[in-house]
Amino acid sequence: MASAPDFSLSCPIPIQNYPQVLLAHGGGGKLMHQLIEQMFLPVFGRPDVSHDASVFAVKGDRLAFTTDSYVVNPLIFPGGDIGSMAVYGTVNDLAMAGARPLYLSAGFILEEGLSMETLWQVVRSMQAAAQQAEVEIITGDTKVVDRGKGDGMFINTSGIGVIESKSEISPHQVRSGDAILINGDLGRHGIAIMAVREGLDFETTIESDSAPVAAPVLRLLEAGVNIHCLRDLTRGGLASTLNEIALSSGLNLHIDESLIPVREDVRGACEILGFDPLYVANEGRFVAFIPQSDVALALSVLRETSEADIGASVIGQVGKQATSEFSGQVSLTSQIGASRILDWLSGEQLPRIC
Amino acid sequence: MASAPDFSLSCPIPIQNYPQVLLAHGGGGKLMHQLIEQMFLPVFGRPDVSHDASVFAVKGDRLAFTTDSYVVNPLIFPGGDIGSMAVYGTVNDLAMAGARPLYLSAGFILEEGLSMETLWQVVRSMQAAAQQAEVEIITGDTKVVDRGKGDGMFINTSGIGVIESKSEISPHQVRSGDAILINGDLGRHGIAIMAVREGLDFETTIESDSAPVAAPVLRLLEAGVNIHCLRDLTRGGLASTLNEIALSSGLNLHIDESLIPVREDVRGACEILGFDPLYVANEGRFVAFIPQSDVALALSVLRETSEADIGASVIGQVGKQATSEFSGQVSLTSQIGASRILDWLSGEQLPRIC
C-alpha cells in the first residue's frame, strides 16, 4: 500500500553519521548503547530494562527470559569454546536477574563446510556446561547458510528462569554508600581469546575462566545478602558496565584501581596487546551493589562457593547523586593515587569475544 | 585433563560420509532429521519431541518454549521480510503446541556494513508483526560480525506461550481414520522468495502469504475441535511434515493431490523453477489431524478466521498401522488417479527460505 512518508517512522539513528552498521554497534560500548536505546527499546516497548533478562509473571510466578547470540572467534579456545560460552552466558544473564536458570533453547546457524567433528565437540561441550549449570536444553533449531555467508558456527541460546527471591535487583535500587563488589579477577576470558587470535605465545597459556555464576548468586540471596544490583562483566568489561549503572541510577560511582584483582600474566598480556583490563570482556564475573553492612557476609559466601570466586573483592563504593550537569559518572583512583573519569568504551576494543 | 578416548563419545553422524556440514543439514529433509535425531536429541536429552516447541510446567502452569533462527535470503521480499517471518515463525511454532503466544526474544546477528535503513525497516516490520500476532518482544541481543562473515542479518526469535487447553496435541494422538486438513493453499511463501532470488518476473508478482496462525488454532480449540496433531508446513513443505508424522505415529497417511489447493500462478512458477509445490516451504500454513466427526466444525471455524484460511481443505486421511516392514508411509493419489509414495525431501530443494 502506497502511503505518504511518515516522519515519525524515520530511522532514529542519524543515517548521515552511521549509514551502515559498524562492528562497534555490537561491541558493548557507546554505539551499541545508542542502537539499543534509540532503535530497539522504543520500538519493542520495554523501556525499563534493568538487566539483560526480562521479567514477567504467569499466574503469579515471576519468571525471567533472556536471549544471547554467540559469535566468538575462534570457536574453540584455551579453557572453553562457543558451546560452553553459549550456556554460561545465558545462564549468567538469568542469574543477574536473581533467577534460578531452568531451561535453555539452542539455535544453531552453521556454515556449509563446517567440520562435523567440530560441531560434535561443541555440542558435547554444551551438554557438559548445561549439566554443570544445572539447566536443561529443551528446544532447538538448526539452519545452514552457504559457504562464505557465515563463520563456521553461531549459536543463540535463550533462557527461562524462575525468581524465587523477593528482592528487587535493579540499578534503581542502588543507594549512595553501597559497596561495589566483584566476584574475582578480571580479564582472563577476553585475553585467552585475543591471545589465540593474535597468535601470541606467552610462557604459560592464559585460559578462559568462563563459568556459570547462578550458584553463587543464589547462595548470596539465600544467605540474606541484600543485593541492590547485579550485572555481569561481558562486552565492554567492568568500565562499560559501571557506566551503564551510573547512567541508569543517576549516581556517581568511585572505584579504586589498586583493589581490582587482575593476574600478572593477564596484565602483561594486556600491555602487549594494548588493552585496558577494565574494558576486557569476562564471562563468569559480575559486579554487585550491596549495603556496607552486608559486605562481610557477601565476601565469605563468595569465597566459599568456588575457586574462581576466591578473588571476590570490594573495589569501590557508590557516591552521591549526580549533579544535573553530569548524569552519573564513574571515577577511578589509579594505582598511583591520581583520580580520573572512567569513560564508556568508544569504538570496538575486542570484536567477537562472546 | 588428558583421558583415554571414550568410544561412546565419537561423533554419531558417520564422518566418512559427512565430514562437513552440508546445506541439506538445514533443509528440512532426511539429513536434517538425521542430524537432530542422532546428534542433538540424544545429547540434549528430550527424545520425545512431539512438536517444535517444548512444553514445561512451572508450579502447575503449562508453558511452551521454542526457538528459531531466520536466515532467509533476500532479507526483504514481496509480501514480507526477515523481521515479520521471525515473529510469525516463532509464534506459529508455539501455536502448533496449542499455546497462546505471550513473549518473544529477538537476537540479531548483523554483518558489518549492513545498511542502517534496512535494519530499521526490519525492526519496524517486527514491531508490526508482533502487534498483529499479539505478542510482546521483551528481551533482545545484538551482535555484529565482520564484513564477509555473515550475510546482512540473521535473527533468532525464541518464544514463550501458555497452554490453556487440556488437549494433548502430538503425533502420538493421531488415530486411524482421522481427517487430514490444511488451512489454505500451498507454496506462495516459498515461491515468492525463490522468484526474487532467481530474478524471475511473472505477469503478476507472487507475494509471500506468511502470517501468524495462533488465532485460528486457538479458535479451533475454543470451538471444541478435538485436534489430535498440528504441524506447520515450513522447511520441506507438506511432504516432509507428513513423513515426520507418519514416522512418529507409525501410521500410514493417504492424501489426494486433487484436494490440495495450489494457486495456478504458484503451480506455473513451480514448473518453471523445477519445484514440487508439496515440498515448498510455507509460513502460516499448517496441517491438522482431527476426527471425522469434527471436520465440518473445523472447516467452518477456519474459513471464518481469515482470508488466507478460505482455502482450508480436507486433503486426505489416516490409514492403518504401518506393517513392521515399512514404518509409517505417506501415499499420494495423483491428479490422474495413480498412487505413489510421497517420500522425504532428500538433498536441499530450497535453501535459506526461512
Mean residue pLDDT across chain B: 90
CA distance B85 to B79: 10
Residues of B with Cβ-Cβ distance to A151 under 8 angstroms = 145, 149-150
Average pLDDT of B79-108? 96
pLDDT at A181: 98
Among A37-51, A66-80, B58-72, B166-180, the minimum mean pLDDT is found in A37-51
Q: Which residue from B minimizes the CA distance to A11?
A: B120
Residue B103 near residue B136, CB atoms below 8 Å: yes
Alpha-helical (H) ranges within B237-336 are: 237-249, 264-273, 295-305
pLDDT at B308: 63
pLDDT at A51: 58
Query: Are residues B107 and A12, on separate chains, in Cβ contact within 8 Å?
Result: no
Nearest-Cα distance to chain A for B260, in Å, is: 28
CATH superfamily assigned to domain B171-341: PurM-like C-terminal domain (3.90.650.10)
DSSP SS3 for A165 = coil
Tell me, yes or no, if B297 comes closer than 8 A to chain A by beta carbon: no
Interface test with chain B among A3, A49, A138, A353, by most B beta carbons within 10 Å: A138
Select the residue of A23, A67, A69 nearest B139 (Cβ to Cβ): A67
Boundaries of every domain in chain B: 15-47, 49-162, 171-341
Between these two residues, B200 and B208, which has the higher pLDDT value?
A: B208
pLDDT at B252: 95
Average pLDDT of B33-38? 90
Query: Are residues B15 and A116, on separate chains, in Cβ contact within 8 Å?
Result: yes
Between these two residues, A163 and A308, which has the higher pLDDT value?
A: A163
Residue found by looking up cell 542430524 in the block = B35
pLDDT at B4: 38
Nearest-Cα distance to chain B for A4, in Å, is: 16
Given a cut of 50, whether residue B35 has pLDDT beyond it is yes
Tell me, yes or no, if B256 comes closer than 8 A to chain A by beta carbon: no
Query: Are residues A119 and B66, on separate chains, in Cβ contact within 8 Å?
Result: no
DSSP SS3 for A257 = helix
Query: Are residues B148 and A144, on separate chains, in Cβ contact within 8 Å?
Result: no
Given a cut of 50, whether residue B53 has pLDDT beyond it is yes
Tell me, yes or no, if B1 comes closer than 8 A to chain A by beta carbon: no
**pLDDT tens readout for residues A299-334:** 999 998 766 667 899 999 999 887 766 678 999 999
pLDDT at B305: 75
Select the residue of A66, A130, A143 nearest B139 (Cβ to Cβ): A66
Select the residue of B21, B63, B150 nearest A114 (Cβ to Cβ): B21
| Largest pairwise CA distance in chain B | 65
Nearest-Cα distance to chain A for B66, in Å, is: 6
Interface test with chain B among A1, A44, A232, by most B beta carbons within 10 Å: A44
Nearest-Cα distance to chain A for B271, in Å, is: 25
Average pLDDT of B312-331? 87
pLDDT at B158: 97
Nearest to A312 by CA among A183, A203, A158, A185: A183
pLDDT at B139: 94
Mean residue pLDDT across chain A: 90
**Angle subtended at Cα B322 by Cα B321 and Cα B323, rounded to the nearest 5 degrees:** 115
DSSP SS3 for A178 = coil
Nearest to B150 by CA among B11, B352, B338: B352
Given a cut of 50, whether residue A3 has pLDDT beyond it is no
pLDDT at B60: 79
DSSP single-letter state for residue B106: E
Query: Are residues B138 and A44, on separate chains, in Cβ contact within 8 Å?
Result: yes
DSSP SS3 for B85 = helix
pLDDT at B202: 72
Average pLDDT of B250-257? 96
Nearest to B73 by CA among B212, B209, B192: B192
Tell me, yes or no, if B56 comes closer than 8 A to chain A by beta carbon: yes
Query: A33: part of which helix (H) or strand (E)?
Result: helix A30-35
Given a cut of 80, whether residue B47 has pLDDT beyond it is no
Among A61-65, B115-119, B260-264, the minimum mean pLDDT is found in A61-65
Average pLDDT of A14-21? 93
ipTM of the complex: 0.93
Nearest-Cα distance to chain A for B334, in Å, is: 32
Residues of B with Cβ-Cβ distance to A149 under 8 angstroms = 73, 150-151
Q: How many CB atoms sit inside 10 A of residue B200's CB?
A: 13
CA distance A324 to A129: 46
Residue B105 near residue A157, CB atoms below 8 Å: no
CATH of domain B49-162: 3.30.1330.10
Average pLDDT of B247-270? 95
Given a cut of 90, whether residue A61 has pLDDT beyond it is no
Tell me, yes or no, if B307 comes closer than 8 A to chain A by beta carbon: no
Nearest-Cα distance to chain B for A299, in Å, is: 30
Query: Measured between alpha carbons, how far is residue A187 from residues A81, A93, A261 in Å?
Result: 16, 18, 10
CATH architecture of A55-164: 2-Layer Sandwich (3.30)
Tell me, yes or no, if A128 comes closer than 8 A to chain B by beta carbon: no
pLDDT at B316: 98
Radius of gyration of chain A (CA): 20
Query: Are residues A120 and B63, on separate chains, in Cβ contact within 8 Å?
Result: no
Q: Which residue from A minimizes the CA distance to B135?
A: A44
**pLDDT tens readout for residues A251-304:** 999 999 999 999 999 999 999 989 999 999 999 999 999 999 999 999 999 998
Between these two residues, A323 and A217, which has the higher pLDDT value?
A: A217
Average pLDDT of B171-178? 95
B213, HSE (Cβ side, Cα atoms, 13 Å):
35
pLDDT at A308: 63
